[in-house]
Structure 1
Amino acid sequence: MFSSQEGGKEPVVMEAKPVSILWGSQTGNSEGLARKISKVLGNKGFAPTVYDMDDYDVSKLAEESMLLLVTSTFGDGEPPDNAAAFYNWLLSDEAPKLEKLKYSVLALGDSNYPEFCKCGIDIDQRFKALGATPMVERVDCDVDYDDAFEGWLKAVEDAAGAAASEGGEEEAVPSEPEFGKKNPFPAKLLNNYNLNTEESSKETRHVEISLEGSGMSYEPGDALAVMPVNDAAYVEDLLKAAGFTGDEAVEGTTLRKALVEDYDVTNLTLKSLKAYAELSGSEKLAALAEDKEAFKAYAWGRQFIDLLTEAPVAFETPEALLALLGKLAPRLYSISSSPKAHENEVHVTVGVVRYDAHGRARKGVCSNFLADHKGEDPVRIYFHHTKTFKLPTDTSLPVIMVGPGTGIAPFRAFLEERAATQSSGKNWLFFGDQHAASDFLYQDQLSEYQASGVLTKLDTAFSRDQEKKVYVQDRMREKGAELYEWLEAGGHFYVCGDASRMAKDVDTALHQVIAEHGKKTEEEAAAYVEAMKKSKRYLRDVY
């Protein structure tokens, strides 16, 4: 509550306007923005309350007067784990009418995916269908969301109106860290080697980076953001296809330098396809832009340069080319080290993308940047902290980790942390890949942890070492009775890796194990899993 006074009149007590701020996040971006919104609106005379969507009491929604919702989308248009229950309830027949509600949605997404911002879009449309009134229309943010967020927040402030122009001493909004997204730390790459043998069809790099002089810190479960640069040879091919030399002046630098360092020159997105189709007048590309499934099929194995060969365009200015491209975004990697085991270092485990398609060699931008890095130039980095994908604070509790392929990354960090802190809780790892002889990542270290007792159980699934393919979810079912015992003992269950297939198959297996060995119905098993999610005992780092 605030007071103001004019002349000799009695102070007028002004009630701060309540506003609920809900966030749904897989990696922590939405949570960070929600807390920033709360700080800013609190300083403007509002009474904000921030809710993890998993913790929000949905029975309150019909009585809310003002609500702001920030959510990401991951996988194939799916809600984040902590938003799934709210999302499913809102889209069900159980959701009430919301005529009292004024709201706004900030949707985070990645335009590289066809279902861009789908979770936020669905929630916004459902709010409208239930009678709620948007105080500010939904804003859809791409990976480079800072400007869009600031514009949306200013519009929310203006639409809501300040509850008081004076309110005593304001609490300052936390300042940005010295090194972050806007100012990455120029780190030295210390070590970089292939974890697979020469016989493997894969290339998985173990990358070690120095934090000396950065003042930065992290915890197991966090992610490392790497700002890559584009492949110089690819940029030269793009310049040639676009009819430029690369020496043209743009944005205070040369076109070549801008394309190498600042712009996303590889990813073929639906947004860039639509814009290029209009510019080129290509009926084929225009038709693809209107059919998401056809676009997905066309885009596989293709990059932006393929548009230039499909329908050549004479660009009038270099700015016309840049207008079709998004900004080069950082890549997030699950950290595979504990700072207690590697002082002033951070490690990541990187699957390198290299293949041929449509007559051209294709390379993953950041994975090849790191794989081919010789250590001379700095690697620009910052940390992406998460409050969810963490080890239990009670170190006596058991931990179950499912991480095939590069999904092992955070669990190497977890094991290093559990060893360094001498945690008494048991640790169980399910790891899988193609072949034991060539693809057993971190095998020596895992064997040492088994011998020392840090790693209580290790179950592997090498899919192509026998006629019938075997995966981590199969091993879970085989060990279902013991797995259920660990869960009943308060075990925390973690999954890291591919969201579209592996994580779904593991989730299905988890439900089956609980139903069979807990002697539960499908509905009871589903309720058990939901309770694990609510208590933050079932956590996923999936992509």
Structure 2
Amino acid sequence: MTLALPVPADRLPGARFRVAALGAGMLAVAGLCLVLPADGSAAARALEAGAAVALYLAFCCAVLLPGRSERSDGDGGWLVVHASQTGTAADLAAQAASRLAAAGLSARLVPLGEIGVADLAVARRALFVVATTGEGEPPDPAIRFHRTAMAAPADLSGLDYALVALGDSDYPAFCGFGRALDSWLQASGARPLTERAEIDAMMPASRTGWTRVLDRIAGPDISPPAGDGSAPWRIDRVARQSTGPMPDREDLALVRLVPEGPLPDWGAGDVAEISVGDSRRDYTIASLPAEGGLSLVVRPAFHPDGSPGLGTGLLTATGAAGRRIGLRIRANPHLRCPPLDRPMLLIGAGSGIAGIRAQLAARIAAGGGANWVVYGDRLPATSTGPQAELLAWHRAGWIGRLDLAFSRGDGERCRVPDRLRGEAETLRDWLARDAVVYVCGGADGIGASVHALLVEMLGEGVLQEMAARGDYRRDVY
């Protein structure tokens, strides 16, 4: 006899579980029938009764027990996946997870670099919030996923998804990685729930697409607008790091800010978002909360007509001290200070000394560790400031090795890649000791030149694997 089901077992949530229960009961009945005596004795009647009970229990399991989804998110929950270089994508993903939870939907927040195709294949709904770095490249934590999972289409026919791509519209490959991920998901059979949203990370006004995606997956948000999350801060003081007898308008500026309320917490690698009209500017924080204020290192920028740039003008112009500004701290766990048992090579140039300083301050506060700094600027400083602080930390033993490079002036002229190239064997020795490499500065300047040199010295594959493990960290802008 054939048991006909109205719906195929693999199309009903938990159907295979129920069919298995019913089948187990039927097998029990068949086994009892094989041993039933044929004489109508009391033993035979007892076995017949046992068979009836087994069949009844199997029926109850098949009909009454709740279905068991074979997917990890059988409650209709969401997998919220982020790929972040500077923390913006991770921050937005966390906001999305909170919004989904407020709508009564479960959400699991996970970095793209910590999942694989198998995880996506068993998910029913996913939200991807991904940034792009460089020329359309994935953020460092997502390199392995890009190189392996996205090498060929997969079978994601059971996945519905939404995708938010972040980028910088000043670059030709705007949202390049987000677009590539979207194409791969569709080629793998996943179904987009809504059109891809693309956000210019520097322009809050471009986030209307983000709101559209959230409304689509979590329902309209009827709570009052939350604003941009910034709080009022005040510029406490602005000091210039002199590089000659006469002030230069492009000398690095040290800007110290204090909040109007309690001092919040942050860590090395975190970012200060400064509200500038309808846009914002991001700056790597150069200090720790224990210092009593938030410090930035800024290189004043100027337009061709001589007018100051928006962000640097706000922070460093004459009379900036005492100015009230909107500031929000954005966490960036990807760039947290590594454990002290791992040596750290810190590389930077210009205003990238901000990130180097914060990392070193965190390591010194924790006990020191082995630190090697390679830093470059246009000219040696002739006043107190970050350069002088590096020299003092070197004399005190907190920096085991300090290599400086200056591209101008009367002394030896060289750049950071030149200094590193001559230390290839030392670099390999530090990497053999499990060192973390941290680079901070302009993406098109120190970021690109040091990356090219490391590829030349170590190979693209090695560097990609280091980035995926978090051993090669780029704090570039």
The TM-score normalised by the length of structure 2 is: 0.75
Residues 475-494 of structure 1: matches in 2 within 5 Å? 475-494=419-438
Distance 1:464 1:215 in 2: 39
Distance 2:425 2:408 in 1: 26
- Whether contact under 8 Å (2:157, 2:191) holds in the other structure is yes
Matched, 1:530 2:464: yes
Aligned to 2:90: 31
Which residue identity lines up with residue 460 of structure 1 in the other structure? L
Distance 1:181 1:34 in 2: 15
Choose from 447, 469, 473 the match for 2:417.
473
Distance 2:240 2:409 in 1: 25
Question: Identity of aligned pairs, percent?
Answer: 26
Q: Deviations over 1:414-448 (max 9, x none)?
A: 2223333333x111111112233679962321121
Distance 1:212 1:38 in 2: 30
Q: 1:185 to 1:447 in 2, by over 3 A?
A: same
Q: Deviations over 1:346-371 (max 9, x none)?
A: 11000111243xxx334211101211
Distance 1:456 1:79 in 2: 33
Give the Å deviation of 1:183. Answer: 4.0
Aligned pair count reads 403
Q: 1:455 to 1:18 in 2, by over 3 A?
A: same
Aligned to 1:377: 323
SS at match of 1:181: coil
Give the Å deviation of 1:146. Answer: 5.3
Matched, 1:152 2:102: no
Give the Å deviation of 1:212. Answer: 5.7
Q: Deviations over 1:458-501 (max 9, x none)?
A: 11222345899632122222112222222222211101112134
Q: Deviations over 1:300-327 (max 9, x none)?
A: xxxxxxxxxxxxxxxxxxxxxxxxxxxx
Give the Å deviation of 1:201. Answer: 7.6
Higher Rg of the two aligned structures: 2
Q: 1:212 to 1:184 in 2, by over 3 A?
A: closer
Residues 60-71 of structure 1: matches in 2 within 5 Å? 60-71=119-130
Q: Deviations over 1:498-521 (max 9, x none)?
A: 21343233123224444xxxxxxx
- Whether contact under 8 Å (2:235, 2:323) holds in the other structure is yes
Give the Å deviation of 1:59. Answer: 4.4
Mind listing any 5+ residue stretches in structure 1 that lack a counterpart? 2-8, 160-172, 229-261, 263-327, 515-521
Distance 1:101 1:201 in 2: 55
Matched, 1:226 2:274: yes
Distance 1:377 1:199 in 2: 23
- Whether contact under 8 Å (1:24, 1:70) holds in the other structure is yes
Q: 1:47 to 1:184 in 2, by over 3 A?
A: closer
Aligned to 1:108: 166
Q: 1:111 to 1:509 in 2, by over 3 A?
A: closer
The TM-score normalised by the length of structure 1 is: 0.67
- Whether contact under 8 Å (1:38, 1:48) holds in the other structure is yes
Aligned to 1:353: 301
Query: What is the aligned-residue RMSD (CA, Å)?
Result: 3.2
Choose from 462, 470, 495 the match for 2:406.
462
- Whether contact under 8 Å (1:69, 1:105) holds in the other structure is yes
Distance 2:154 2:75 in 1: 26
Distance 2:125 2:326 in 1: 40
Q: 1:469 to 1:445 in 2, by over 3 A?
A: closer
- Whether contact under 8 Å (2:340, 2:370) holds in the other structure is no
Q: Deviations over 1:16-71 (max 9, x none)?
A: 13532221111112112222333333455545332212222234445543322111
Matched, 1:386 2:326: no
Give the Å deviation of 1:88. Answer: 4.1
- Whether contact under 8 Å (1:189, 1:378) holds in the other structure is no
